[in-house]
Amino acid sequence: MQRFHFRDFDAAELTGRKNGGTISVCIPTLNEAATIGEIVTRVRRDLVEEIPLVDEIVVIDSSSDDGTREIAEEAGARVCLSSEVAPDTGTHVGKGENLWKAMHAASGSILCFLDGDIAEFHSGFVTGLVGPLLTEPSVDYVKAFYERPISHGDTLHSQGGGRVSEILVRPFLSMFYPELGDILQPLAGEYAARRGLLETLAFPTGYGVEIAHLIDLARMGRLQSIAQTDLVRRIHRNRDEGDLGDTAFAILRVLMRRLERDGKLRLLAEPSTLHRRWWIDGETVMPLVREIPEPERPPLRAED
């Protein structure tokens, strides 16, 4: 599996390699007012106005109520409300849903997905992901990897982020899908791919979308078409254990489906959609229950 560094690629040189293709930067959002403006501004200034590498910036939003859409539009993005894209297909709330809707809203032959909560964003996030697609004909899908710091109070520690990856996903892959063990950041939300390949993949509507792609690409015999790019460091807001538990639950539902589909495990009952946990504060003990069905959007077309 080929690895690259974002500094391997020059935006002007990449622009000359588009050969009539187009690039859409797609950003799923839900209340990302603190960071979305800087991300869109950087991409627009560096890669649309100064060097015409990117053809469009599309923000697909899940009804944010903090001004995210207004900030993104003012910064230069085309903003779409997820529920209004392909309305005949219905709507779900979730990151994967927004990415699936991006394929309807964006026009690029290459789609570059970026999370909307990245701090200290630089345009190398885009050039590093689309670079292998424009320079290596055998590459169809590019994942980011990076150092993931975690904050403790006002201090930023270089290690400790990516807790769901380390506690759930890596042990799972080691046990059931060891062929994916070389993927350094399996849950990275920054990746780029050719539209033709993305259209053959299912999209879980929540946080299970990234790991679903990797498992499905392996099943399709496409591991050799995956490359990885070092983006050095990704800083974003750290979520609490309750949010991470919900994320892990959604991912686990996706993983269980694929274990059964791939003949690695036989389920005797349908897994529950209810994530049950507890909130404990002194003598107060309160149950917290959230329904997380994690449905999946089907591929837009059959694999060639």
- The pLDDT tens digits of the residues spanning 5-61 come to 999 999 999 999 999 999 999 999 999 999 999 999 999 999 999 999 999 999 999
Can you tell me the distance from the alpha carbon of 31 to that of 109, in angstroms, rounded to the nearest whole number? 28
pTM for the full predicted model = 0.92
| Structure-block tokens of residue 2 | 């080929």
What is the average per-residue pLDDT within 105-128? 96
Q: How confident is the model at residue 242 (pLDDT cuts 50, 70, 90)?
A: confident
Q: How confident is the model at residue 234 (pLDDT cuts 50, 70, 90)?
A: confident
Look-up: residue for tokens 């329904």?
291
Q: Which fold has domain 3-237?
A: Spore Coat Polysaccharide Biosynthesis Protein SpsA; Chain A (3.90.550)
Look-up: residue for tokens 């390949």?
197
What is the average per-residue pLDDT within 174-201? 96
pLDDT higher at 151 or 3: 3
**What is the pLDDT, as a whole number, of residue 247?**
93
Which segment of 62-66, 145-149, 280-284 scores lowest on mean pLDDT?
Answer: 145-149
| Side chain identity, residue 296 | E
| Side chain identity, residue 268 | L
Is residue 236 scored above 70 in pLDDT?
no
Can you tell me the distance from the alpha carbon of 270 to that of 41, in angstroms, rounded to the nearest whole number? 45
The set of residues, in sequence order, having a beta carbon less than 8 Å from that of 203 and lying 6+ positions away, is: 96, 97, 99, 100, 209, 212, 296, 297
Q: How confident is the model at residue 235 (pLDDT cuts 50, 70, 90)?
A: confident
What is the average per-residue pLDDT within 143-156? 68
Give the containing element (helix H, strand E) for 231. Answer: strand 226-233
Looking at residue 178, the DSSP 8-state letter turns out to be G
What is the average per-residue pLDDT within 235-261? 87
Look-up: residue for tokens 């290690």?
159
* Domain-wise residue ranges, the chain: 3-237
- The pLDDT tens digits of the residues spanning 73-98 come to 999 999 999 999 999 999 999 999 99
